[in-house]
Structure 1
Amino acid sequence: MPLLTTRPSIAMKISVSLALVILIGLGSWQVDRLFWKQNLINERHTQAEKPPIAVPLTQTPDPAMAFRSAFAEGRFLNDQEMHLMARTRRGNVGFHLITPLEQADGSVILINRGWVPQDYRDPATRPESVIEDVVRVTGVLRLPQVKHWVQPENEPLKNQWFFVDVDAMAEDSGTELATRYYLELDETPVPGGLPIGGQAKVDLPNSHLQYAITWYSLALSLIVIFVLYHRRPKDDVASS
């Protein structure tokens, strides 16, 4: 069947060109995000797999030390535990239990001990988590967090924290912290099974390749539709 080639209007050319620029731009942005995310995952794995070091006692954390394998030894200050709210695990809502740890030299650091179900906020419901003996704990170093715009404000009076504000937590507990790093514990089993460690996200979801393919596929589809529309069979043109 003979084809009739028509010339697209200026308005259509402009519209299709803008759409292609946007679609290709979004695809390229996702490719950049793909490599950024993969490098971030690799860096976290590299840090977490290094031999553990003692938690550095410094007020100026090095961002390159994030997720570095580390350990600490001392006694938990159980009466000063803090609850990092709105944390989920396998679809269940709970909180992360953060407890100051006093080391043998008197220095105090914050420990994110892991996830606890919402119904166990009262320490009396999980007495085995109130450990009085000297403990040695291992995990990864974390940096002080910055409040995200969607996060609520911390409520120290209600012991409801939504992000780790090291300075505010130190002030609330009345304890001078020896470092602005905090240690997020690994999945080493603990008495009673709570808190559940290993909540640090070393592996991150990385779906940017699928997103890039989607945007590039839409761009290709637009090109195909544009070409086919302007090379229609003569009978279709006549009937329209």
Structure 2
Amino acid sequence: MRWRSLLLPGLVALAALAVLLGLGTWQLERLAWKNDLLARIEARAYGEPGAIPPESAWDRFSPEEDEYRRVRLTGTFLHDRETAVHGLMSASRGQPVQGYYILTPLRLPDGAIVVVNRGFVPTERRDPATRPEGQIPGETSVTGLLRRPEERTAFVPENAPAREDWFTRDPAAIAAARGLARVAPFIVDADAAPVPGGLPRGGQTVLRLVNNHLQYALTWYGIALTLLGVFAAFAWRRLRGADDAPPQAERRGA
């Protein structure tokens, strides 16, 4: 009978413990993923640039195998089909700068197209007419990092091509909206090479990623351990109180 009073609190504590342990384990999984990502960045993002995957291999593009590789490609920018995607740029002080990333199709010599993220422009310079000197005519070479398409999350609005309102860097969606064919399933983030007029500002790929997952995991596991201690103390006091309680007859003065 004494243990029955612990049944409901025990079930609640058990459910909370399962959630806390699950969160801690999830953070350890994220830690493994982040360490692998950091290792890939370190191995691929520096050094001499190589070639992009050939068009014949685009249907087998694998972010795990190819993302963050430093590449160089040559072609002609289709400036009349650029796409401005909402974004933020880190500032040296204060709040990040709000503006747009300029994604411009680059037509390769064989006619295939790679969408290049040329870099960031502040909101007031979104219109290409405000930065005509940054439109590079003729054939040019671009050096940058190979990136997977940006995936939309629950907190990111859907792209609205009809309103020219873009929130994700998605080459397939851009190709459909701009009437482009033979478009690579990846984008290239251009490096910080000088651009006439200074815009767009390349080299915006974040390579130094925050990795606090171990700290988070230890926090969740620590809370789980605290929960066990609190419940143990609660159960001990309740059972001890039941043992110390006088018999019913004594309490009535029998």
Name the TM-score, length of structure 1 as normaliser: 0.82
- Percent same amino acid at aligned positions? 38
* Structure 2 residue corresponding to 1:34, chosen from 31, 36, 40: 31
- Deviations 1:126-185, CA, capped at 9 Å, x for gaps: 122112143221111123344434433323233322223323322333332353232111
- Deviations 1:195-220, CA, capped at 9 Å, x for gaps: 12222233333221221122122122
- Residue 67, structure 1, aligned to residue 45, structure 2: no
- Structure 1: 5+ residue runs without aligned partners? 1-5
- Structure 2: 5+ residue runs without aligned partners? 91-95, 246-254
Distance verdict in 2 for CA 1:210–1:182, change over 3 Å: same
The structure number with the bigger radius of gyration is 2
What are the equivalent positions in structure 2 for 1:177-188 lying under 5 Å apart? Answer: 177-188=182-193
What are the equivalent positions in structure 2 for 1:158-197 lying under 5 Å apart? Answer: 158-197=163-202
Bigger proportion of residues as helix: 2
* Structure 1 residue corresponding to 2:11, chosen from 14, 38, 62: 14
Question: How many residues are paired up?
Answer: 230
Give the match for residue 116 of structure 2: 111
Is the partner of 1:22 in helix, strand or coil?
helix
Distance verdict in 2 for CA 1:14–1:65, change over 3 Å: same
Give the match for residue 20 of structure 2: 23
* Counterpart contact for 1:153–1:162, Cα < 8 Å: yes
Give the match for residue 82 of structure 2: 81
* Stretch moving more, 119-128 or 147-156: 147-156
Distance verdict in 2 for CA 1:217–1:197, change over 3 Å: same
Name the TM-score, length of structure 2 as normaliser: 0.78
* Counterpart contact for 1:34–1:206, Cα < 8 Å: yes
For 2:31 and 2:123, how far apart are their aligned partners in 1? 35
1:111 to partner: Cα distance: 0.8
* Counterpart contact for 2:171–2:184, Cα < 8 Å: no
Q: CA RMSD in A?
A: 2.7
For 1:96 and 1:108, how far apart are their aligned partners in 2? 18
* Counterpart contact for 1:56–1:179, Cα < 8 Å: no
Is the partner of 2:118 in helix, strand or coil?
strand
For 1:183 and 1:77, how far apart are their aligned partners in 2? 15
Amino acid at match of 1:88: L
Give the match for residue 92 of structure 1: 97
For 1:178 and 1:12, how far apart are their aligned partners in 2? 59
Larger RCO (CA within 8 A; separation ≥ 6): 1
Amino acid at match of 1:44: I
Distance verdict in 2 for CA 1:75–1:220, change over 3 Å: same
Distance verdict in 2 for CA 1:215–1:51, change over 3 Å: same
Is the partner of 1:53 in helix, strand or coil?
coil
Give the match for residue 135 of structure 2: 130
For 1:143 and 1:79, how far apart are their aligned partners in 2? 24
* Counterpart contact for 1:102–1:108, Cα < 8 Å: yes
* Counterpart contact for 2:75–2:141, Cα < 8 Å: yes
- Residue 154, structure 1, aligned to residue 159, structure 2: yes
For 1:36 and 1:165, how far apart are their aligned partners in 2? 23
* Counterpart contact for 1:71–1:138, Cα < 8 Å: yes
* Structure 1 residue corresponding to 2:219, chosen from 214, 219, 222: 214
* Stretch moving more, 165-174 or 112-121: 165-174
Q: Provide runs of 4+ in structure 1 moved above 4 Å.
A: 231-234
For 1:99 and 1:209, how far apart are their aligned partners in 2? 39
Distance verdict in 2 for CA 1:111–1:226, change over 3 Å: same
